[in-house]
Structure 1
């Protein structure tokens, strides 16, 4: 028994927290430990003459007495925070746990009191810090949100709520940020977010552009910047609405394109006037000279000479006619006015239709045909495709030596027929290849205007082939010469049958 009492006294007097026994009938302190004496700034002898509520600040004593009476009657209070006033006027915040005990006919309140001054200061600092950060969070110039490891929004500011169209109360703890991300961006952003939380040491992307969809299905362009909170599987995200900036950027791009188009248009007009005036003047000068010669009264031309003059006039007239046709085609293509008369046909039918023109054009060259899949069904304007082939072959004739070979071949590739014209000429400069289909472009290998043309033929070819739904391209052969190819979509069997039906 004595040993137990000794343990009791050791625990009582050696406790860090203040312990006090209060008489339930009088409210006087019956006993306390040293920690309680230090806490209230009074000795036990002083406390034995003090009502417990008299330890409280004067303004709180009336309420304290009432609280004591309730505890003396009810028996216990689990946790209370209140203030103690020391004799020197110092106010000490304490945390109390109180229990009513009975011994024989006597009843006591046992109270354990702890000084929470530091705890309160820390708590107040935390509250102040939270207020500060909440103010920064709320008054930031961008929408901000913090998510948890399951992508649910734990905290959102007013700008984020406005951006998404929801109230803050509807967002926090209830919505995942994933539902606001357009589907095509969702996998990338979620994957990086998950990896960043699982492995914070990895240098995952922190900044994205994506499309946000609000509750009303409106779409906004967003610049997202995010960072992980150290030691927490949470991410802080700031979202800047760049929709208006993107719109302005697009308008600026359009304006730039319009200005560039206008500049090019003016350049084309200047080049057109220069080139066309030259190209028109040459045949017109020849026609006028030959016609004047035939009309001379003082010369009697023999039949052979007269026929040569007339053949020359016809040749120059043909050049004028082709030039005018090219100019008209160029105008139609530029204004999307070129009408294609499409019919079902084959590349063999196109070659057959231009056979005579081809023979006249290539009388000094060898033409080789290798028309594989030549009967493959096409839906084309045969006259225009023939024009493309003649234009390309005409270029090969210009830049290839007499008696050299010009090969025309065809072969299916996937759902297209590819037609290729190759020659044994001088080829194309690497720097010229990207531009050979531009209007008025001249080959840089063309020495001193030799074989100089107006520069419309291949540009017209490109316009016709693209209008047919195909592509056209140029390249150099491995050893010698140039290769120009174009593709035309094949007619699917089902489609042909459907059209017949």
Structure 2
């Protein structure tokens, strides 16, 4: 064995063993895998140089010289290793970098392997065979320039990382690798470029410089835990030991990863994996509230919601999540964390309650201390009366036969009676001081009810005292309830009575169905009677043309008048047959007005409308009211060229106005126009309008000045109107 070749063999063995050791320490780490590839390339280069020097014949030397061509893979592998180490490269996401790194290496390798443009027949030296280069060194110098540039870039990245990192251990690791790369760079330039330029050839193989890098990396592994302290090797430990629940969901919101804290929080084992995330929430509404915001904004921070444990317990949590997307914006996964805040919420609520109680007690004791000393007997009697009063009120509260609640300002249920336990499915121990009444609401009604809850504490006279709403029981059943709500004087608490009217509503719906069927029957009956009356009227007309006797002619005229009365009665009945057929509902006034006047030709009438931004609770036939008012302008306004509609809010409620600039209505007829007429001389529409409005307690009057135009005022009582978007409210009518 030639002694000069021995360092190459040692270098090959050491680098290969070091690469395997690092790889088997953590096979999943991209850094460890890249280092193994670098060590394999270095080992092959060193081994092929060993065999080149050891060759005994020119043919054998030429064979191993060609096989050293694979050394060109070493510089890009070194640069790739440094990119992964410094965190500058993510091979899975930035795969396009690989062709730029390895395309030149593949080109130079192919050139050396299959041509004589760079390497030629090996040169024989006293210590054995060595590299033989082509007479024209241009391509060789280009290859060396690319090699030096690649190694310099790796060295620069390593130095930059060493300067920028805040962690001392990472700085030392980078320093050792920078030192090894510097040895490779300086040694390679001296041996491969500078000395050959002076016709000096030394028996030093470049792989020995890479051996220095391997030794320094080995020292960094032993001394500073290189390949050990990294996110890849510590991620599982961090996830497993973190106190908060961690969930990783796929794009279909299926749970793929759940740490121990998550499994403990939900009370499930490994069977949590593969379940939809909906299984974590008590209802679809809670889940949608979180994930609709997450998908819309891409991130959710400390959002309070609730989880449903395996035992059925509702667990309040703060929920944070973010969306992971690929370069095209497609959702790849969702990373979620949750913190159990049960104890924190209970402690906060109990602390607030205790503080309020202590403050009230202190103020009361301070104010009444002297009076208590002087009037002990009277106080004792008062206390007895209070106890009796409290017992009476509690007896009423418990035995009223209706579900009752007392609510705090923050929507917490502070007191519930036994009827509410039966209605909700929860026990008092679960309800009082622990649960917000909002969990019994459905999403469509929740915001409206919360707004009423807040309005009742600011302006109680404007809040609705009675209204219907759906009620969500513990079992998920939706009941219909009638709520009566009022404030407890001197407090921020409210008392609520809840009457279950589900069966009544079902009966009402059955009645409505029957009414619809009767309406159909009425329509058919009206149609048949109208056809008969029309036929009878035609016969009377024909008969009148042939009669010459005056008495008979008068009898026919009276018969015709009777037929006309029947026709008028049928017309009025037709107008009323749909009245009250459907239940009242919240309706946009501006939309109802536009629908109403759309049936009339108002092309020559100028319109000033200011009705947007307000809704009223009225019969669905409300648009017929505006139709009748506009029709009245066309028929009786005569000189009218303009109609105006608007609204204003008063102490009594909301006043909707409709006026024109026509002839107006005489003082003597301002009330009679709303009465039902017995003949066709008067339009029954205004009577119908008053009846439609009266279904929900709305009144209508005519307040115009004769000769200046008609003016109708529709008064909607408080609680029967609302402003969904206060910022879009029109200027009130004059």
Normalising by structure 2, what TM-score?
Answer: 0.21
Structure showing greater relative contact order (alpha-carbon pairs closer than 8 Å, 6 or more residues apart): 1
Higher helix fraction (1 or 2): 2
Higher strand fraction (1 or 2): 1
If you compute each CA radius of gyration, which structure gives the higher value, 1 or 2?
1
Normalising by structure 1, what TM-score?
Answer: 0.30
